[in-house]
Structures are given as structure tokens and as C-alpha cells.
Structure 1
Amino acid sequence: MRLKVKMKIPKNFMTPVNKGKIARIVQLNTAEVTQKAKERAPVSTEKTNPGGAHGQLKRSIIPSMSSGGMVGKVNATVDYAEYVEMGTRFMAAQPYMKPAFDQQKEIFLKDMKKLLMKEL
């Protein structure tokens, strides 16, 4: 199963301001969520996973944009991404995506408020 975070601008926010400026804010914040998730993603070591691949989860975290830049998504594409984030009955959760999103959403809201106050 893949794990993703999605940031979307409500349509009523787009009317008073230039869509290009909003798209830039969405793009910058999506990039920041990506970076923060990669920084938090656990990486196995030779000690914890002998002979195995290391860093696949971190490398699988990628951003994408859609809807003309109004929607930013951050996906962790390895099959086990959700198990690491949420944990299983055999291993504790090691959240990396939700903490990154939670930290960035405050910045995103401040960026949007600042833009709206400038444009209104």
C-alpha cells in the first residue's frame, strides 16, 4: 500500500488572488513536506537489515503537482511505507509523513494568509 499526503486549495480561495501565486505557494510547501518527510524517514542499517537494501523508503518519497499547480502530493511509493508510518502488531510506528505534514501545514496556512492579506 502507498502512503500519500495531499494539499489542496479550496476553490473559494482562488477567486481574489492570482492563481499563479497560489500555485507557487503550493509548490514550495509541497517541496518542504517532501524534504521534511525524507529527513524523518527511518533508514535501515547493515546491523538492522543485514544484506538488505538501505534507504529505499527515503528515496521513494516524491512530490507531484496537479490541477494546474493547485494540488501538491507527496507519495512514499514503496510497498511497506504505510507499515513504517503506522506500525504493525510486530513493530512500533515510526511516523515520518504525518509529522512532516503537521509541521508544514502551519507554514502553508501562514503563507496563504499573507498572500490573501496582500491581495485583498
Structure 2
Amino acid sequence: MPKLVSSPELSELAMKDRQLFKLKKPCANCPFRNDDQAIELAPGRLEDIASEITSGDGKAFFCHKTLSGERDDEYEEEGYYPGEKDAVCAGALAFQIKHGRIPIVARFAFMTGEAKVEDYEALFDRIISPEDVL
């Protein structure tokens, strides 16, 4: 299951050149896809994730296929510390942009050229609409 991580934690990772924004399209079963290929989550889970990643300055959401970190129940409330292979979920980031709630670490990546907002805007027709889950 993908994990939520706050912007300060991701900013630290971004500084370590971990290619957080290497994913440019949703994976085959991304929960943010708007077709029948999206993984089915527990009832209410997608709505909870969508709400959390679009509140405040938003949180980045890692693709479940890239998770390489370690669990530590004493580390933050999620109990997960990102690994070097973790990458931001392209579907989730496109969803956040579509909703107008871009995480700080993504704004930084767009400003420095590490990522292009246009790459994620191009995904809008392939991901769920905020109105569907918020």
C-alpha cells in the first residue's frame, strides 16, 4: 500500500537526488486511474487518501510499486521512512494538480526543472476527478 509522507521529509529526500519524480504516468493498477484497471481499495480508503493529499499543502504519495523504505512505528504517525527507490505516484500527483493542491516538494521540483507540471497535466483524462472522491 502506498504511503503518505510530509513535504519536509520529501524535501530531504529530493536533496539526495533520489529521482522522486521519475514516474511520468500512472502504473497499470494505480488507484487514481479512472478505468477498470485501477486497484480496488478498501471502502473509503481512496477517499481518505484523496482528502489527506489535498489538505493543507498536501502530502506526496508514493507509488506502491516503488516502496523500498522501512517501517518504524516510532517514526511519524505513518510508521514509514522512505527508501531510495521510492517515487511519487504520478496518478496521485496528477490528481493533486487537477484539484489545485500541489505538494511543496512538487512545487520545488517544478521550479528547479526536476519535473514538469505539463507531464502531469497531460494525465488529467486518465485519472479520477476530485469531485468523484472528495
Name the TM tier (shorter chain).
under 0.3
More strand as a share of residues? 1
State the TM-score, normalizing by the size of structure 2: 0.24
In proportion to residue count, which structure has more helix? Answer: 1
Rg: which structure is higher? Answer: 1
